[in-house]
Structure 1
């Protein structure tokens, strides 16, 4: 192979590599746009108005390993809302106001006062009923825990293990 053919071949290979790079770039930009559209559909637009009760997200609690601690601070009151997403909040006692990013706030719906009534009435004779032909292995234990009665068909050596 002479010098000119080698240079043409090398230039062709470089151009081909540039085309592959360009196609990869286009492919990634299309994937990024698709992912952005997908995630933007999931974002809910929250609207806050003056005097709305809201909760504030405390991002510092993310660093602490407290699993059961709520990361939302006590209710605040909205003083004003700017058009670009910042919200001015007033503390619960009304002593101070401060501005926060609108994405750190969520609506506060209050505590649920109405508790459902649970019917605890359960006749004892229904506890010992088992609707299966063969009782499961734990039926005697469950019936003993509920009623405190040891089944009559248990032999003496089984009672020692049972109790």
Structure 2
């Protein structure tokens, strides 16, 4: 009789551990979804159109491939879309006036 009672108790313990494990998996999944949503909200999506001029800077990330064409050589090649920034023609630099602040006189 004791073996039967001990067997039932053992089965209940194993089922309880499985429930705890399943809860842990569910909590981890929810945490990953929330973290991904937060991260995706921060990422800025760039919209480029065909024939638009862009600046290309050096980066080692390989997230999104975009095909661009060089104006000089007309050669097409694929680059990471995260490496592109819009190129603004006729960009004018503004003269910045420098103001020196002095200590107040007592």
Structure 2 length as normaliser, TM-score? 0.74
Q: How far apart are residue 110 of structure 1 and its match?
A: 5.1
Task: Give unmatched runs, 5+ long, in structure 1.
Answer: 63-84, 134-163
Q: How does 1:1-163 map to 2 (within 5 A)?
A: 2-60=2-60, 86-109=65-88, 112-118=91-97, 131-133=104-106
Cα 1:111–1:32 shift into 2, 3 Å: farther
Equivalent-residue separation in structure 2 for 1:119 and 1:86 (angstroms):
43
Deviation at 1:48, TM superposition (A): 0.7
Cα distance in 1, alignment partners of residues 85 and 96 from structure 2: 30
User: RMSD of the TM alignment (CA)?
Assistant: 2.9
Once residues 96 and 85 of structure 2 are traced to their aligned partners in structure 1, the CA distance between those partners, rounded to angstroms, is 30
1:152 corresponds in structure 2 to none
Considering Cα pairs closer than 8 Å and 6+ residues apart, tell me whether 1 or 2 has the greater RCO.
2
Instruction: Work out which of the two has the higher radius of gyration on C-alpha atoms and give 1 or 2.
Output: 1
Work out the CA distance in 2 between the residues paired with 1:119 and 1:8: 83
**CA deviation profile, 1:82-110 (whole Å, cap 9, x unmatched):** xxx64221225234220223233221235
Q: SS of the counterpart of 1:94?
A: coil
User: 1:108-142: CA deviations, max 9, x gaps?
Assistant: 2358532315367x8xxxx7xx6343xxxxxxxxx
CA separation in 1, counterparts of 2:28 and 2:98? 59
Q: How many residues align?
A: 103
Partner Cα distance (2:75, 2:5) in 1: 79
Change (3 A) 1:39 1:12: same
